[in-house]
C-alpha cells in the first residue's frame, strides 16, 4: 500500500437530458446529473428503473437517443467505449473465463499499449521496446494485485475463485486503467451479507485513497446511504431526487422515495383520517406537519415506525391516534408492533422487543408520532403509487 | 432387464456398423485366391498384405490423392472457420436490422443439397477457367451454413457482460471473436472440423464434376478411378487396401475429436 497505489486525476461528469428508448419503453427519460471530481455518487432505485442503463450509456455500451455526456468537460458522445476513459465493474464481474487472473487484470493494458504484434506469443522477445512494455505491464499487474491483496490468486482462472475474489479481480481490471471515472454496477450484489458489508467499507476506503470519481448503482438503500457522498434516486427512467444520504432520508420529495428509504415499513395515513381521529388537548387546527397546518390539509401524512410510539393512555397535551394492537414481529433489539387505526388502516410502531408482552392482540392504546419527523405527500391515486403519477397530481 | 435389452441392441447396431470395416481390413490382408473361399473372414497373410498395399500405392498415385484430400480439407476448414466465426458472432450477439431474416436464410441454406447449385457453379467455374484446380474443389464450400449455425448456437450462450467488458478494455469486434468467443467454443470448432473433414474427404460428387486430371483427384475419386482402371479390375485385395488407407485418417481424426464432437453437438442442441 506504499507508493504503489494508483492515484487518478479526478474528473467531473455531467449528464444532460439523456434519453434512451427500448422499443416503446423509455429506459431513460431526460436524465440529468452532475458529479463532482472525486465524488462518490450512488444511483439508487428498484430493479428495472433504468439505473443500469444509465451506467451503460455513460460507458458507451448503450446507444442513446438524445442528450449529452461530458467527462472532465469533454463530450464523449459518439466515442467508442474504449476511448471514454471509464472503467466498469459488472454485477457478474464479467471476467474472461479462459484467462488467468493476471491476464484478466492485464487485458486493458495489453490492448491499449501493445500492438497486435506485441500480443503474439514469442515474437515480442525480438523487440526491446515490446519487452519493456510487457515488463511494465507485469509490474503494474503486480502492484494492483498487491493493493487488492490478490497476489496469490494471479495464476488461477476465474472459475477457481470465490465470489469475493472474483470481485477483487474485476476491481483490479478496472483499477489498472487509471480511469477518469469508475462505473460500478451492483458490484456487491452477488456477495454474501457479511462479505458485502466488509467489501463496502473497503471499496469506499479505496475510492477515497485513489480519489476517483465514482458512480455506484445499487437497489439497496442502506448500502447507498452507507457509502455515498450523494445519492440520486431513480424511478421509471427518471431521476427523482439528488442529495446527501441525510437530505434524502430526512426530506424525501415523494411518497415513493419515502417508502424506498423506510423499508420495510412506512406508515401512511390520509390527512383526513388524521384530522378526524386525532385527539388531544390541542385542536386539530394547531397541529402542524411539515410546516403546514393539518386543518384543510389534503393528501397523506407519512411517518416511520421509529418516529412513532404507543401508550396505554393519551399523553396530556400531545395529539395521538386511538388504535388496537394486531400483532408484533420480533426483530432482535427492537420489535415492530402492528396496530389498527380507527378507520381500519394498519400502522407500525417500533417498540423494544421486551415490551412485546405488554401489547397482546386486541389491546387498546394511543399512537403518538413525532410531528416534526412526519411528512405530507400527495395522495396516491388507486394503484398509481408511482412517484411520477404523484408528481402529475401535484 | 430393459438395460440388458438396450445393451444388446446397441451391441448389435455397433456390430452391423463395424462389420464392413472389419471385412475391408481382412480382405486387404488376404491373398486373391482366399477371398472367395466362403469363409466369413478370409485368412490374413503377411505376403498377400504386402502385395495388396504395394499394388494400391504403385498402380495409382494414392499418396497424391491423399495429399490432395488433406490440402483441400485443411484449407477449406481454415477458410470456413475464418468466415463462419465472425458471421456466427454477428448473428448471435450484434443486434442489427434484418438479423432474424439473415438467420432464417442460414437455416434455409442448411436444407439445400449440394446438387441444387451444382450446375450454375460448374458453369461459373468453367467460365473462369478454373476446372481441375484446387480452387474449384474448395471455393464452393468456403461459406458453410452449418458452421455459421453451429457457431451462432454456441455464441448465443456466451455472457454478454463479458463482451461489454472486452469492448471497454479495448478489444475490437474481431478481437472479441478470436480472443474470447472461439477459444470458449472449441468444442464447436472441433465438432465442425470433424464434420467438415469427413464430408469433404469422402465427397465423390463434386470432384467428379470439376476434376478430370488424375493428379487433382481426391481420395474417393482416385479409388473409384483405381477400381475401374484396366489392370486392377478384379484385384479386390488391392482395392480394399486402398480403401483402408483412405479411411484410416478419418477414423483417427474421429477418435481424436470424439469427446469434443459429442460435447459440441450436445451444447449446440441445447441452445
CATH number at residue A229: 3.40.50.300
Q: In this structure, what C-alpha cell is assigned to residue A120?
A: 503474439
User: Distance (Å) from the C-alpha of residue A81 to the closest C-alpha of chain B?
Assistant: 5
* CB atoms B171 and A111 under 8 Å: yes
User: Distance (Å) from the C-alpha of residue A318 to the closest C-alpha of chain B?
Assistant: 57
A225 and A302 co-located in one domain: no
Among B34, B60, B38, smallest CA distance to B48 is for: B34
Per-residue pLDDT at B267 exceeds 80 = no
pLDDT value at residue B39: 72
Confidence label for B46 from pLDDT (cuts 50, 70 and 90): confident
pLDDT per position as a tens digit, A253-308: 999 999 999 888 899 988 888 888 776 545 555 777 877 778 778 889 999 999 99
How does the average pLDDT of chain B come out, rounded? 88
Torsion of CA B26, B27, B29, B34, to 10 degrees: 110
Question: Beta strand pairing status for A181-185 and A213-218?
Answer: parallel
| Mean pLDDT along residues A89-101 | 92
Q: Does a structural domain hold residue B51?
A: no
Q: Does a structural domain hold residue A383?
A: no
Q: Does a structural domain hold residue A349?
A: yes
Quick check: B100 contacting A, CB < 8 Å?
no
Per-residue pLDDT at A147 exceeds 90 = no
A195 and A313 co-located in one domain: no
Q: Does a structural domain hold residue B71?
A: yes
pLDDT per position as a tens digit, A154-195: 999 999 999 889 999 999 999 898 888 999 999 888 888 888
| Mean pLDDT along residues A229-233 | 96
Per-residue pLDDT at A237 exceeds 80 = yes
User: Where residue A279 sits, what CATH number does that domain have?
Assistant: 2.40.50.100
User: Where residue B188 sits, what CATH number does that domain have?
Assistant: 1.10.3720.10
pLDDT value at residue A2: 39
| Highest mean pLDDT pick, A233-242, A269-278, A384-393, B259-268 | A233-242
Q: Does a structural domain hold residue B213?
A: yes
A223 and A274 co-located in one domain: no
Q: Does a structural domain hold residue A139?
A: yes
**Count of domains in chain B?**
1
User: Distance (Å) from the C-alpha of residue B106 to the closest C-alpha of chain A?
Assistant: 26
pLDDT per position as a tens digit, A11-65: 899 999 999 988 888 899 999 999 999 999 999 999 889 999 999 999 999 989 9
Q: Does a structural domain hold residue A384?
A: no
Three-class DSSP category at B26 = helix
* CB atoms B170 and A112 under 8 Å: yes
Q: Does a structural domain hold residue B10?
A: no
Q: Does a structural domain hold residue A387?
A: no
Per-residue pLDDT at B53 exceeds 80 = yes
> Is there a contact between A43 and A52 (Cβ–Cβ < 8 Å)?
no
ipTM score of complex = 0.80
A87 CB neighbours in chain B (<8 A) are 168
pLDDT value at residue B225: 84
Q: Does a structural domain hold residue B16?
A: no
* CB atoms A111 and B168 under 8 Å: no
Quick check: A81 contacting B, CB < 8 Å?
yes
Q: Does a structural domain hold residue A8?
A: no
Name the packing angle between helices B46-59 and B236-270 (round to 10°): 80
A139 and A254 co-located in one domain: yes
Confidence label for B40 from pLDDT (cuts 50, 70 and 90): confident
Distance of alpha carbon B240 from alpha carbon B30, whole angstroms: 10
Q: Does a structural domain hold residue B146?
A: yes
A213 and A74 co-located in one domain: yes
pLDDT value at residue A390: 36
Sign of CA dihedral A158, A160, A164, A168: negative
Quick check: B178 contacting A, CB < 8 Å?
no
Quick check: B186 contacting A, CB < 8 Å?
no
A175 and A195 co-located in one domain: yes
Q: Does a structural domain hold residue B12?
A: no
Quick check: A121 contacting B, CB < 8 Å?
no
| Highest mean pLDDT pick, A374-383, B22-31, B147-156, B255-264 | B147-156
Q: What is the domain range of residue A358? A: 266-377
Q: Could you tell me how far CA A302 lies from the centroid of its own chain?
A: 22
Q: Does a structural domain hold residue B19?
A: no
A370 and A234 co-located in one domain: no
Q: What is the domain range of residue B161? A: 61-270
Beta strands in chain A (DSSP E): 13-22, 25-35, 40-44, 66-71, 74-75, 86-89, 181-185, 213-218, 230-235, 238-243, 267-270, 288-289, 292-293, 300-303, 308-311, 321-331, 334-341, 346-352, 364-369, 375-377
pLDDT value at residue A389: 35
Question: Distance between terminal CA atoms of chain B?
Answer: 34
Q: Does a structural domain hold residue A4?
A: no
| Mean pLDDT along residues B15-27 | 90
A27 and A57 co-located in one domain: yes
> Is there a contact between B220 and B243 (Cβ–Cβ < 8 Å)?
no
* CB atoms A88 and B164 under 8 Å: yes
User: Distance (Å) from the C-alpha of residue A327 to the closest C-alpha of chain B?
Assistant: 46
List A15's β-bridge partners, or say none: A33, A69
* CB atoms B161 and A90 under 8 Å: yes
A225 and A273 co-located in one domain: no
* CB atoms B159 and A107 under 8 Å: no
A250 and A271 co-located in one domain: no
B159 CB neighbours in chain A (<8 A) are 92, 94
* CB atoms B159 and A94 under 8 Å: yes
A341 and A208 co-located in one domain: no
Q: In this structure, what C-alpha cell is assigned to residue B75?
A: 484449407
Residue pairs between chains A and B whose CB atoms are closer than 8 Å: 55
Q: Does a structural domain hold residue A163?
A: yes
* CB atoms B169 and A107 under 8 Å: yes
pLDDT value at residue A350: 93
* CB atoms B169 and A95 under 8 Å: no
**Count of domains in chain A?**
2
Quick check: A101 contacting B, CB < 8 Å?
no
Contacts of residue A299, defined as CB under 8 A and 6 or more positions apart, other chains included, come to A270, A271, A376, A377, A378, A379
Q: Using the structure block, give the residue that is written with the C-alpha cell 463434386.
A: B206
Per-residue pLDDT at B7 exceeds 60 = yes
Quick check: A90 contacting B, CB < 8 Å?
yes
Beta strands in A272-363 (DSSP E): 288-289, 292-293, 300-303, 308-311, 321-331, 334-341, 346-352
Per-residue pLDDT at B47 exceeds 60 = yes
> Is there a contact between A116 and A124 (Cβ–Cβ < 8 Å)?
no
Q: What is the DSSP letter of A49?
A: S
User: Distance (Å) from the C-alpha of residue A86 to the closest C-alpha of chain B?
Assistant: 8
- Mutation to test the A interface, candidates B163, B166, B170, most A Cβ within 10 Å: B170
What's the Cα-to-Cα distance from A50 to each of A27, A233, B220, rounded to whole Å? 5, 11, 61
Amino acid at each position: 500500500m506504499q507508493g504503489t497505489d494508483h492515484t487518478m486525476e479526478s474528473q467531473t461528469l455531467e449528464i444532460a437530458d439523456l434519453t434512451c428508448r427500448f422499443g416503446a419503453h423509455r429506459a431513460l427519460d431526460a436524465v440529468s446529473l452532475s458529479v463532482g471530481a472525486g465524488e462518490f455518487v450512488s444511483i439508487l432505485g428498484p430493479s428495472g428503473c433504468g439505473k443500469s442503463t444509465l451506467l451503460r450509456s455513460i460507458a458507451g455500451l448503450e446507444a442513446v437517443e438524445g442528450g449529452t455526456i461530458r467527462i472532465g468537460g469533454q463530450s464523449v458522445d459518439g466515442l467508442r467505449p474504449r476511448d471514454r476513459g471509464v472503467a466498469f465493474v459488472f454485477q457478474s464481474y464479467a471476467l474472461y473465463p479462459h484467462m488467468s487472473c493476471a491476464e484478466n487484470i492485464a487485458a486493458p493494458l495489453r490492448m491499449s499499449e501493445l500492438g497486435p504484434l506485441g500480443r503474439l506469443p514469442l515474437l515480442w522477445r525480438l523487440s526491446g521496446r515490446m519487452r519493456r512494455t510487457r515488463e511494465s505491464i507485469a509490474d503494474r499487474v503486480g502492484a494492483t494485485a498487491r493493493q487488492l491483496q490478490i497476489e496469490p490468486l494471479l495464476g488461477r482462472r476465474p472459475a477457481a475463485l470465490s465470489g469475493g475474489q472474483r470481485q477483487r479481480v474485476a476491481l483490479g481490471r478496472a483499477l489498472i486503467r487509471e480511469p477518469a471515472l469508475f462505473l460500478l454496477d451492483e458490484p456487491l450484489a452477488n456477495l454474501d451479507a457479511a462479505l458485502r458489508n466488509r467489501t463496502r467499507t473497503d471499496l469506499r476506503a479505496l475510492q477515497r485513497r485513489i480519489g476517483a470519481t465514482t458512480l455506484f448503482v445499487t437497489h439497496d438503500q442502506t448500502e447507498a446511504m452507507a457509502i455515498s457522498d450523494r445519492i440520486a434516486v431513480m424511478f421509471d427512467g427518471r431521476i427523482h431526487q439528488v442529495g446527501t444520504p441525510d437530505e434524502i432520508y430526512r426530506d424525501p420529495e415523494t411518497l415513493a422515495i419515502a417508502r424506498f428509504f423506510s423499508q420495510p415499513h412506512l406508515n401512511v395515513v390520509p390527512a383526513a383520517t388524521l384530522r378526524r381521529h386525532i385527539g388531544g388537548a390541542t385542536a386539530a387546527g394547531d397541529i402542524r406537519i411539515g410546516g403546514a397546518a393539518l386543518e384543510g390539509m389534503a393528501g397523506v401524512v407519512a411517518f416511520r415506525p421509529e418516529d412513532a410510539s404507543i401508550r396505554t393512555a393519551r399523553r396530556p397535551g400531545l395529539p395521538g391516534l386511538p388504535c388496537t394492537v394486531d400483532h408484533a414481529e420480533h426483530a432482535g433489539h427492537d420489535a415492530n408492533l402492528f396496530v389498527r387505526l380507527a378507520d381500519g388502516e394498519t400502522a407500525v410502531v417500533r417498540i423494544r422487543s421486551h415490551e412485546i408482552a405488554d401489547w397482546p392482540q386486541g389491546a387498546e392504546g394511543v399512537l403518538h408520532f413525532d410531528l416534526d419527523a412526519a411528512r405530507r405527500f400527495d395522495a396516491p391515486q388507486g394503484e398509481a403509487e408511482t412517484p411520477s403519477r404523484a408528481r402529475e397530481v401535484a | 432387464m430393459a438395460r440388458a435389452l438396450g445393451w444388446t441392441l446397441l451391441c448389435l447396431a455397433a456390430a452391423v456398423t463395424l462389420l464392413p470395416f472389419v471385412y475391408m481390413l481382412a480382405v486387404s490382408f488376404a491373398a486373391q485366391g482366399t477371398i472367395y473361399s466362403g469363409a466369413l473372414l478370409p485368412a490374413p497373410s503377411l505376403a498377400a498384405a504386402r502385395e495388396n498395399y504395394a499394388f494400391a500405392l504403385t498402380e495409382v498415385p494414392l499418396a497424391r490423392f491423399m495429399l490432395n484430400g488433406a490440402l483441400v480439407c485443411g484449407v477449406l476448414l481454415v477458410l470456413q472457420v475464418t468466415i463462419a466465426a465472425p458471421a456466427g458472432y454477428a448473428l448471435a450477439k450484434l443486434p442489427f436490422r434484418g438479423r432474424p431474416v439473415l438467420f432464417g436464410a442460414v437455416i434455409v441454406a442448411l436444407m439445400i443439397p449440394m446438387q441444387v447449385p451444382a450446375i450454375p457453379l460448374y458453369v461459373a467455374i468453367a467460365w473462369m477457367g478454373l476446372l481441375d484446380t484446387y480452387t474449384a474443389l474448395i471455393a464452393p464450400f468456403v461459406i458453410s451454413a452449418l458452421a455459421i449455425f453451429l457457431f451462432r448456437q454456441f455464441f448465443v450462450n456466451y455472457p454478454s457482460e463479458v463482451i461489454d467488458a472486452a469492448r471497454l478494455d479495448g478489444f475490437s469486434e474481431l478481437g472479441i471473436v478470436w480472443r474470447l468467443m472461439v477459444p470458449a467454443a472449441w468444442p464447436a470448432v472441433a465438432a465442425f472440423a470433424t464434420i467438415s473433414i469427413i464430408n469433404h474427404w469422402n465427397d465423390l460428387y463434386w470432384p467428379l464434376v470439376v476434376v478430370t486430371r488424375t493428379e487433382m483427384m481426391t481420395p474417393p475419386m482416385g479409388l473409384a478411378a483405381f477400381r475401374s482402371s484396366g489392370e486392377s479390375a478384379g484385384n479386390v485385395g488391392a482395392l480394399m487396401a486402398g480403401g483402408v488407407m483412405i479411411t484410416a485418417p478419418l477414423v483417427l481424426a474421429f477418435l481424436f475429436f470424439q469427446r469434443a464432437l459429442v460435447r459440441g453437438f450436445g451444447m449446440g442442441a441445447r441452445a
